[in-house]
Every structure is written in C-alpha cells, then in structure tokens.
Structure 1
C-alpha cells in the first residue's frame, strides 16, 4: 500500500488524564517494526477494562494513553519477519497474545504467554521499548498491546488473529474480548458436565457469552443472576433457563440458589468483576 513504511496521521481518542473525557486528536502512527503489524481499525467496542484503567483504578496510572482492545480491522502493512499476515487481511486484536514458542503457548492448559501475556503497566512496544504513537513528537502510550481507539494502531504479530474476510467486522469485533472471555470461562475453565446446573453472575456481554458456553457444554439448567431484570429476556437467547434478581429476595442470593438447586449448583461463573459477587458465586456451588 502507498502508506507502507511511512508515518500515518489519523484520528485517535486520547486519554490525557485519569477520568477526564477522551479527546479526539490527530496522532502520528509510526510504521511497524520487526514482528509488528499496523492495522486500520474499522470498528471498536468499549469494554469495562478500558473504563477501569481510564479511571486509574488499575495498577500504575500511565497517561497520555490510547485505550481500546476489542476491535476489528484490516492489515495496512507488516514489519520485518512477519510471514503469517499480509496487507489486506481481516484481523482481530488479541490483548493476551501468543508467541507460539514458550511453554505456556505450547501447553493445553494455559495461554499466559511468557512474552506477550497481558501487562497493563507496559505502554510501549515490546520489541524496542518505544511507542508507535506521538503528537508533535511527544510519545502517546499504548494499552495492553492493542490501543484500538485509533484509526490506525501497531501491534505485535502475536497479538493479531487473522479471520475470515466474510465475517462482519462490526459484529465479530466483540470476539476480541467479551465473547471469548465468557465462552472460554465456561467451556475451558468451568467445564460443566452434560446435564449439570450452572449459575452465571452478571448478564452483560461476558455473562451472555458464559451462558452460551454452558449451553454448548450441555448444561440442563443455566441460572442467570443480575440486578437488572431487563437483561433476562435477552439472556434466554443465550441459553439461560431461569433467572434470579437478588433485589427480589431478603435472603442472600447464594442461599436462594442453594434452595433452588437442592444444595447448590454444579458450576458457577462470575462475570461482574465484583468481589462480593465472586464470594456469592463461590458459596452457591454444591459441596463447597
């Protein structure tokens, strides 16, 4: 492409300070270096993780920064050593990347890559320790190796997944985080046996995906737990068979679930990020 090897100027939503409104700025995006890919972002979603670190509730506050990690786009150019991707490929960013060589990547039990595991404190590229974003020569930090709140971004090749070009990017962009997180939690971690009973705490995007995962695994009862009753009807489409709104009960919700299921559910998936919900999810499991 005509832009390959050149700096691209484009629009990006920049977080200058914690909790302050994002500012649309013209940024310069440098060409990809060795084992890197520059991607034109066409669609990006907003995840609670972006908000959490924008509010500086995470680890080390790092600003100015470009957030975003759930998106879909097209490869604009590739750096030296990249062979599995080419300009024009449709891709999704992967904030927990894979080098494909370390013990974790080769293990069937873990995806916490030694090189590319998620690191919210790293605001630069892993190859040379520099940012690919800048404004008037001042570096703008990256976020979890993706930074999709920009029309163009640069990522390590291990943080990019090639997809079928016929897949609609405006829909499959949520596979970068919400869907894969919930579905994977059910199928790969909880592993509910066929005919089992599963409780899903939180029916946002991740919770809906977790319910779908439980359905695919063959769970017979999938109980959705949420404070927002308006989510229940939509959750039916993703496999939920029953619902509990903690506000409708005077008893602790874990006790309600235990009584509904003759002692507790077989598996529980917590999808709220709330410590109290984690405890409740743990306590409603049978024989715990």
Structure 2
C-alpha cells in the first residue's frame, strides 16, 4: 500500500508520567523493517495491566509511553521477508511471541518465547517507550510477524481483540494450566474479564461447582452467565475466605485461580485448595510485592503454578489464539458478553477511570472497544 516504507504520523494516547491523564499526541510510526508488519488498529480493549503500569507500577523509566496490548486490526503493509501476512489480512498482535526457533519455543514445557518485539515510535523527536503491543494508537505498532496471529476475514474485530490478552489468559489458565477436570470443584478469585474467562474455562472443562469470589457483588450475576454456581464476598465473613471454602467443600477446592494480581489473594487462593491434589494457578499480574506462603501448604501436596497467556505448553502463542478464535466462531467461547462499553480513543481517560474505580459491569479488568 501507499504507506509501505514510509514514516506515518498519527494520533495516539501518550502516558507522559505515572498517574497523569493520557494525552492525545501526534506520533511518528517507523516503517516496517525485515520480517515486520504494520497494522491499522480497528478495536482495542483496556486491560488492568495497563492500569498497573500507569497508576500502580509507577515506573518512571517507562515514560513517556503508548499503552494498550489488546488490539485487533488490518495489515496495512509488510516489510521485506514477511511470508505469513499480506496487506488486507485481519490480525491480532500479541504480547507473547512465537518465533519457533528459540530454546523455549522448541521446548514442549512452555509457551514462552525468548524473542522480544521491536516497537519504534517517536513524538517530536522524543523516543517513546512501549508496553505490550501499543494499541492505544490510530495506527498499531510496527511489529514482527512472530508476534501476530492471522485471523479469519469474517471475525468481528471489536470482539476478537479481547483474545489478545484477557480472555485467552483466563480461559487458558483453567483449561490448560490448571487442567480442570469433569466433576471437580473450582474457585476463581477476582471477577474481572480474566476471572470471568477463567470461570468460563472451568465450566467448559466440566467442573461441577465453581465458586466466584469477589468483593464486588454486582458482578455475581454476570458470573452466572459464564458458569459460576456459588458466590462469595470475603467481606461478608468474619473468618478468612480460605477457611470458608474449606468448610463448604470438605477440605478445600480441587482447583483455584487467582485473577486479581494481589499477593495476599494469591496466598489465599493456595490456602483454599485441598491438600494432596489441590492445584492453585497464579494468573493476575503484579510486580509490586513479594509473595509468601507457609511451607506446609506445599509440603502437604498442593501444587502452585503460574500461567501466562493461556499457559498451553504444546500450543504456542499464535497457534493458541487461532484455536480460541475457532472456539469463539463455533460458539464454545463467549466474547460478546464481555463488552460493556464502546468509546472512541479520545475517551480513553474516561475508560481508564471507569476501570480504575470499578464502575463498569466488569470489575478490575474490563473491555474497552473503539471503532475507528
């Protein structure tokens, strides 16, 4: 197309410093280099990890930056050596690569990849940092093809963009990392989009009981849609919620998934598991505090796992997302039910504030879509 090999100027929401509102600025997007593609963004979601970076992490070294990592769009142009994409293809950029060549991609034990994305943005000759794959822009980042999943032409971009992070992360944590089995008892801590997707994963895996745990009871009705059977508000009890779960399940749940990104909740999720075979999966993201647990919790036979982007060891990032897309198109995975608002990019601060204060129906991590 006409933009191939050229620097593009476009509008983007720039984070200049921690806790400050995002500012709409004109930025320069570098042309595609070897193996890279350029994507025009059509829709994006707002993820709580963006909120963490902007308001909670307060990493001054990461500013100024353009946030966003849950986008979908159309390939505008491709650089030399690109074989997997052509202009006009629909695509979802990923924060996790799949090069197929590094030791992690070749290992059947992980879906991690050792190769990082290259993102080149400038604003008035000032280099911009990046977090994720930069979807808060009227043009997507120039990104290597190893970190992009091609999707069907008939896929609705304002829905499938959520597969770029939240839905894949929560759903995959349940069906892949935890390995929920039919007839099992599960508990999901935190009912943002990741947590609700985890509930959906437990349901589709055949769990008989799914405890939805959150301090925001307004989200419980939403959780029913995705398969939750029981609902607990930790603030409603005068004892630790792990003890409540233990009493209600004769010793603890078979699988627990922490989808908050809070180290205290992570420990609670572990303590809520039954001994010997209980599995706890850490799904929420945080890097603020260290995590601790009593050794007896693990010595008794419980398993503590982490999950990143669906956690499938055999299916890597790009392949995994394409499978989730098939599941959505065939009705196995819900996406439409996660959308609570649609806004323009210029309203991004309103979207961030709604997510920050928990005013949206989906609490903590929610869906923010825009159509250009």
TM-score, normalised to structure 2, is 0.71
1:182 aligns with 2:184: no
Other-structure match for 2:136: 149
Distance (Å, rounded) in 1 between the aligned partners of 2:56 and 2:103: 33
CA contact (8 A) 1:18 1:61 kept: no
- More RCO (CA 8 Å, sep 6+): 2
Query: Displacement, 1:107?
Result: 3.0
Distance (Å, rounded) in 2 between the aligned partners of 1:59 and 1:191: 35
Which deviates the most, 182-191 or 107-116? 107-116
Distance change in 2, residues 1:99/1:141 (3 Å): same
Q: Please state whether the residue corresponding to 2:130 is helix, strand or coil.
A: coil
**Runs ≥4 in structure 1, deviation > 4 angstroms?**
none
- Per-residue Cα deviation, 1:47-93 (whole angstroms, up to 9, x for no partner): 11111112361667321111110011111111111100111111111
1:230 aligns with 2:218: yes
Distance change in 2, residues 1:23/1:59 (3 Å): closer
Distance change in 2, residues 1:61/1:138 (3 Å): closer
Distance (Å, rounded) in 2 between the aligned partners of 1:257 and 1:33: 53
1:256 aligns with 2:266: no
RMSD: 1.4
Which blocks of at least 5 consecutive residues in structure 1 are unaligned?
A: 117-124
CA contact (8 A) 1:53 1:61 kept: no
Where in structure 2 are the equivalents of 1:5-154 lying within 5 Å? Answer: 5-55=5-55, 57=57, 61-116=61-116, 126=118, 132-144=120-132, 146-152=133-139, 153-154=141-142
Instruction: Please state which structure has a larger fraction of its residues in helix.
Output: 2
Query: Displacement, 1:45?
Result: 1.1
Other-structure match for 2:357: none
Which blocks of at least 5 consecutive residues in structure 2 are unaligned?
A: 276-301, 303-372
CA contact (8 A) 2:186 2:210 kept: yes
How many residues in Structure 1 have an aligned counterpart in Structure 2? 275
TM-score, normalised to structure 1, is 0.92
Q: Please state whether the residue corresponding to 2:42 is helix, strand or coil.
A: strand
Q: Please state whether the residue corresponding to 1:14 is helix, strand or coil.
A: strand
2:150 to 155, 162, 166: 162
